[in-house]
Chains A and B, each alone.
Chain A
Amino acid sequence: MLVGDMVRLLAVDRENLPKFLGWVNDPEVTQFLMVDPPLGMEQEEAWFEGLRDREAMIFTIETKEGEVIGNCGLEKISWKDRKATLGIMIGSKAHWDKGYGTDAVRTLLRLCFDELNMMRVCLICDRSNVRAQHAYEKCGFQQEGLMRAYRYKNGAYIDEVLMSIIRPDWLELQRKI
């Protein structure tokens, strides 16, 4: 278990899946996410079964009160290059805009840099998702590129912002705190 200021990150349990399924099928939750609903329970289970075979570390996000509010994690971990791609979903709308996501991202970054010795963590984010970009910047991410017409969603091609934080950025941030 990883402990942040507001959240705890736990290994994904099979019993979390119905909740996750509800979120990934909620258009409001997935408006900016790289998931393509509709998804069924068997697909969700297949995703869960596949986790152990991938270079990935996925966690359930729980508040300190024990409420499951989302998930987050690292995908495409390359140990040789010491890098990974970060992803997060706060599924519980009651917990939006309250700093839970930011705390979860910071907790993941602490894992990446202090425990896994990563050199680089990157993510992509919809260009129109300015709220998320702002939150990632607060955590130390910098925008490093714009990927035009990167994915197709709701009848249109959309641009994606590429963001990253590298080890020197993280160490600099820690020095300032």
Chain B
Amino acid sequence: MIKGKHIGIRPLQSDDAWILFKWFNDPKVTDGLGIREPRVSISLEEEMEIVQDKIGKRTVRPFLVQDLDLDVPAGLAELTHIDVKNASAKVFLVIGEPELFTDGFFHESLETVINVAFQTMNLHRLEVRVPAYNERLIRLYTSSGFELEGKLRHDHFRHGTYVDSIVLSKIRGSGEMS
């Protein structure tokens, strides 16, 4: 477990499928993520397969975010599309318990992941896609030094209309923090 002040991250394990199953079936959690897959609900079996697959892949590093004060699992933090030659990866961070999702909690989780990516894995570039309507997420990534990079127009269909996503990135050594 890599510990911050209030949160810790540890490698995702097969046993964690049940909690992901719970989070990814909660519209309060999934609604603002800009998920593109045509999936409105996920079965425990599907979730178990997804977890197994992630754990076995060298291009994915999945972590479970733990609330250290309450000692409960609180979210999923992943580095995906890890490209070792170019030292880049994509970030996916979800706080699965809506009542724990404060700006401070997200910020500390994100900083911990950034720290692992840059200081432990020696990565150079982190990228994230955030739905354009999720201003809170954009603000949270920006406050950790992510910079706006571009817009993916109409990249997913949601609530009866096509919506845009924003791509942000953070380059090691640029901006404040980390």
A contact set with B: CB distance below 8 Å: 79-82, 116-117
B25 nearest CB across to chain A (Å):
36
- A80 and B85 form a contact (CB under 8 A): no
How close is A117's CB to chain B, nearest CB, in angstroms?
7
Contact B122 A81 (CB under 8 A): yes
Q: How far is the CA of A116 from the CA of B84 in the complex (A)?
A: 10
Residues 109-124 of B, flagged 1 when their CB comes within 8 A of A and 0 if not, give 0000000000001100
Please report the C-alpha to C-alpha distance between residue A82 and residue B86 in the assembled complex, in whole angstroms. 11
- Interface size counted on chain B using CB atoms at 8 A: 6
Interface centre among A79, A80, A81, A116, by most B CB within 10 Å?
A79
Considering the complex, which residues of chain B in the window 58-96 have a beta carbon less than 8 Å from any beta carbon of chain A?
84-87
Question: Nearest Cβ in chain A — how far from B125, in angstroms?
Answer: 12
Question: Would you give the shortest CB distance from B14 to chain A, in whole angstroms?
Answer: 25
Q: Complex formed: what's the CA distance from A117 to B84 in Å?
A: 11
Shortest distance from the beta carbon of B121 to any chain A beta carbon, whole Å:
6
Contacts of B86 in A (CB 8 A): 117
Given contacts A80-B122, A117-B87, 11 further A-B contacts (CB under 8 A): A79-B84, A79-B85, A79-B87, A79-B122, A80-B84, A80-B121, A81-B122, A82-B122, A116-B85, A117-B85, A117-B86
Residue of A nearest to B86 (CB): A117
Closest 5 pairs between A and B when the two form their complex, measured CB to CB: A79-B84, A80-B122, A80-B121, A116-B85, A79-B85
B140 to chain A, nearest CB (A): 28
**In the bound complex, CA of A117 to CA of B86 (Å):** 8
Instruction: State in angstroms the CA–CA spacing of A81 and B123 once bound together.
Output: 10
Query: Which residues of A have CB within 8 Å of B85?
Result: 79, 116-117
B87 to chain A: which residues have CB within 8 Å?
A: 79, 117
Residues of chain A within 8 A of B121, CB atoms compared: 80
Residue of A nearest to B120 (CB): A80
A82 to B84, CA, bound (A): 9
CB distance from A81 to the nearest CB of B (A): 7
Could you tell me the distance between the alpha carbons of A80 and B84 in the complex, rounded to whole angstroms?
A: 7
Once the chains are docked, how many angstroms separate the CA of A117 from the CA of B121? 15
